[in-house]
Chains A and B, each alone.
Chain A
Amino acid sequence: MFAYVIRRLLLVLPVAFGVSIICFLLVHIAPGDPLTAIMAVDATAEEQAAMRAAYGLDRPLPVQFLFWLGNLFQGDLGNSIATGRPVAGEVWRAVQNSLLLAVTASLIAFPIGLLLGFLAGYFRDSWLDKLVTSIAIAGVSVPNYWLGMVLVIIFAVKLAWLPAMGAGPAGSDGWTFDWLHIRHLILPAITLAVVPIGIVARTVRALVGDIFHMDFVMALYAKGMSNFDVLIHVIRNAAATALSVIGLQMGALLGGSILIETVFNWPGSGMLLSNAIFQRDLPLLQGTILVLAMFFVTANLVVDILQAAIDPRIKRS
């Protein structure tokens, strides 16, 4: 197990390196000059060159990359072009808000998805299975940014039960766990939870259904094991795969909440990203994406290790 963990950790390094290359290149595939946004419109060629030299943009790409990587290791993601503030701080504040949303959505999505999927798989071809299958397929097919709008229309516009946007009442300067703040969390979290509910339910349904059709389950019944004990066997066999799906979705929730945050004006990493895009604030774009991708890589790593702890076949191979 220990060797597996070490090997898995070492495998992350090249991936993390590749991720940083992609993030670095993002700025350079962008058309135009990264400094256009802050350069005076009437800047002379000399002024432009001086500015470029000041930002190190006159050096060859690999050198720029190494400098950038070096700064990265010191926690320096550069400064936002729009605000001039360090990107790291901006991203950190935003990621906290996104995490809050992602974790809440996970707490809604995974128990429901697991339960629905399990029931559908256990009662294959019953009306319950058909219902769950329909819910699941609707869940994976719905554009969640639209679903967010529809929920706003129903619960904020028509019924006026919940606020339509923001992360707290007007004038609030930070998250606190009180009803005034929590009511802002409800709609975005539900919206965000719908897709993972669908995905988890579909996967678990197929998984459980398949396992129940395996010969070993028949052998367990044949030796007179009770329904409940057989169930335990089935769950144990389904756990590893279910876990990996959940892990992937967890990471996807964090990185995938961009559109939802836009719909609800939620001040998370997604909002930050969309602001960065519109202000063509490339260092901010780069930093946000890097941090989100690293979260995703870490989530996958944790899931893989947990999976190996559950499923003995993985660490032996």
Chain B
Amino acid sequence: MAVAEIELARTPKRRGYWAGVLHRVSGDPVAMVCFVVLMALILSAIFASWLPLQDPYKASMIARLKPIGTEGHLLGTDEQGRDMLARLIYGGRLTLLIGLMPVVVAFFIGSALGIVAGYAGGRTNTIIMRTVDVFFAFPSVLLAIAISGALGAGIVNSLVSLSIVFIPPITRVAESVTSGVRSADYIEAARASGGNALTVMRVHVIGNVLGPIFVYASSLTSVCMILAAGLSFLGVGVKPPEPEWGLMLNTLRSAIYMNPWVAALPGLMIFITSLCLNLLSDGLRSAMNVKD
């Protein structure tokens, strides 16, 4: 066929969809810098006990609130004389866990709910989406604090309340993406080939909706980080003496007159992490939005 011959001349190097996305993200310098910073934070938090750090729990009455650059305490000490550098690195463990896990949990639950609602339509859709609407009546900060406040402080309670906060928005996005895909001609064609609902969903729907839902969920990680640390900052998250950035920020508030810059350090960590999460999510979004 003549048309086919001409086409051949400009056949691009072929790769799968996700390989293409990865390729484009890795060509985005901002996203890559953020990725490296995040990996450094995550790895140093995981392997903190192997790093040459001081004991993050060891208090010292004489070494309280040392400024940044003190001999032996590179980033100073907190109000109980504990080494800030060690606490910041160890603090990444809980902060990152509580900041990222709820979005992962909400991604699975919300996607499942939204895909079912979007594909089934009708009554199923109404029940799921009207329930979701109720949760939208709460600003996310308020909902997180309300549930955490009622459940009480604690790591598990924080994980639960933040997961509940992020399920509704992910469900809503998953539902709208799915109902868009559901009405596509290729779904009709697949149904006309005799595919039952489950097969069509597995082969034709899931692959086309997970990408957009994933990008949306990734954009929530930064909010989740800030909220998670915020819960601890309020005192309804992680309990002392665990090192956690939000909690550290809270306990150091009393020190802003004596040693303000040390007091601000945990917040800076939250800021850097959430900035990197946002920029990486933006990079991912534009890498996936390429229409061709």
Contacts and interface: CB of A to CB of B under 8 A. Distances in A.
A19 B257 CA distance: 42
B242 interface: no
Interface string A143-160: 111110110110001100
A22 B132 CA distance: 12
Interface stretch (A47-55, A226-234, A256-264): A256-264
A254 B146 CA distance: 14
Nearest to A11: B133
Which one of A143, A276, A289 has the greatest number of beta carbons of chain B within 10 Å? A143
A256 B142 contact: yes
A256 B150 contact: no
Contacts of A153: 256, 260-261, 263-264
Interface stretch (B10-18, B115-123, B184-192, B270-278): B270-278
Contacts of A143: 226, 229-230, 267, 270-271, 274
A155 B268 CA distance: 18
B222 interface: yes
A251 interface: yes
A27 interface: yes
A5 interface: no
A14 interface: yes
Interface stretch (B85-93, B173-181, B196-204, B232-240): B232-240
Interface in B151-177: 151-152
Contacts of A239: none
A263 B261 CA distance: 16
Interface in A138-179: 138, 140-147, 149-150, 152-153, 157-158
Contacts of B234: 258-259, 262, 274, 277
A296 B143 CA distance: 12
Contact of A140 (B134, B137, B261, B278): B278
A278 B253 CA distance: 18
Contacts of B131: 18
A182 interface: no
Nearest to A252: B139
A102 B270 CA distance: 24
A146 B133 contact: no
Determine the interface band of chain B, counting residues with CB < 8 A from chain A. 35 or more
A145 B268 CA distance: 11
Contacts of A278: 235
A208 to B, nearest CB: 18
Contact of B130 (A14, A142, A255, A289): A14
B205 to A, nearest CB: 25
Most buried by A among B139, B234, B279: B139
A145 B149 CA distance: 18
Interface string B212-226: 000000000010001
B41 interface: no
Contacts of A38: none
A22 B134 contact: yes
Interface of A: 14-16, 18-19, 21-23, 26-27, 29-31, 137-138, 140-147, 149-150, 152-153, 157-158, 251-252, 254-256, 258-259, 262-263, 273-274, 276-278, 282, 285, 289, 292-293, 296-297, 300
10 contacts: A18-B133, A31-B151, A137-B282, A141-B226, A145-B233, A146-B264, A146-B270, A256-B140, A273-B145, A273-B149
